[in-house]
Amino acid sequence: MVTREALEKSVKEWWYYTVQLAPDLVAQGTYPADFPYMPRMLMRNAHLQGQDCLDLGSMEGVIPVLMHRKGAKRIIAADAVPHCAEKMDLLQKVYGASWDFREVGLMYDLSQKLAADGTFDYVNLSGVLYHVFSPMHTLASARPLVKKNGLFMLSTNVVNEQSDLMHFNTAGKLQTEPNTFWYPSIPLLEYMLRYFNFAPIDCLYSRHPSNSPLHVPGKECGFISIVCRAVDRGAAVAASDHWAKRSMLGSWEYTGLSPQKHDPAEVPSSIGYDIPDTLKDMMARNGSIDLHLAVNELGRRVERAKRVEDTYLLRLGDES
């Protein structure tokens, strides 16, 4: 039971998300009211009922609340440090949700740090990859946490260009936030995902508009959210990509930092996902999607959010 006094105290604190704490109390977060929350929009298509879910970098825990609303069986929320512990606790009480919290430190070696928690049907890694020195190391360490045939959702800043480059935030030229390092191009990010046996099946992209502090002159930067299916070793890369397959099996970095089990006897996750109509043809042809094409030719773009349920505002009530 949360007292009115506790709610009134909390509503005055700094919040990342905008959260309704009582019918007449809304804690104001950092995002504008019509800013789209794409991980939330994509997660709506995932069948989380009865599934094991992990959220990496949870802040106050809005994604865990949404996982709970979608009927997840087990929810683990993890963050580098428990900097939102009190607000997270409050959110669980106000929203009647429950999850376990894990303090994981820097987002490396995650499968070792979370080894006692086993593997998950759904893993979310949103808003974290641009904060780490080594995005590949983080992806490598998250991969073993996803069950065979499970889903992995990744959201990060990218450059919308046809290249296999990753841009560094030299002198804050991408953004002044001092904890931000890399923006990969969309095709390179896709290649990295495929290299770690993640096949992209859906995405949404939002360009940083020219009036945003994140706008970079001469470069189209934006935020992308991607849902991937965890597939067997080598199944997400081109049949002709012998380098990737040899690297997966033989490079010291891969085998040391991404200890994936490829046991044919492992019971696969049965988690479902509703593929949007516009991607169904490409999925039927290839079993996965080309992210650059999906963003630039198949309409997987968002500008402003059209519905409150697609924003960073969490309301009491029933929406996911």
Ligand X SMILES: C[S@@+](CC[C@H](N)C(=O)[O-])C[C@H]1O[C@@H](n2cnc3c(N)ncnc32)[C@H](O)[C@@H]1O
Residues that bind ligand X (CB under 6 A): 39, 57-59, 79-80, 106-107, 126-128, 131-132, 155, 179
Nearest to 80 by CA among 52, 109, 51: 109
How far is the C-alpha of 87 from the C-alpha of 272, rounded, in Å?
31
In sequence order, the β-bridge partners of residue 313 are: 18
Minimum Å gap between C-beta 277 and ligand X is: 26
Minimum Å gap between C-beta 305 and ligand X is: 14
Minimum Å gap between C-beta 175 and ligand X is: 12
Using Cβ positions, the residue closest to ligand X within the complex turns out to be 127
Minimum Å gap between C-beta 309 and ligand X is: 15
Which is closer to ligand X, CB of 83 or CB of 246? 83
How far is the C-alpha of 190 from the C-alpha of 106, rounded, in Å?
23
Strands (E), the chain: 18-22, 25-27, 52-56, 74-79, 100-103, 120-126, 146-159, 166-168, 182-184, 198-207, 221-230, 313-314
Which is closer to ligand X, CB of 189 or CB of 236? 189
Q: ∠ CA 260-263-269 to the nearest 5 degrees?
A: 80
Which is closer to ligand X, CB of 179 or CB of 210? 179
Return the residue matching tokens 């045939």.
Answer: 149
Minimum Å gap between C-beta 140 and ligand X is: 15
Which is closer to ligand X, CB of 85 or CB of 106? 106
Which is closer to ligand X, CB of 64 or CB of 234? 64
Q: Which secondary structure element, helix H or strand E, spans residue 107, and what is its range?
A: none
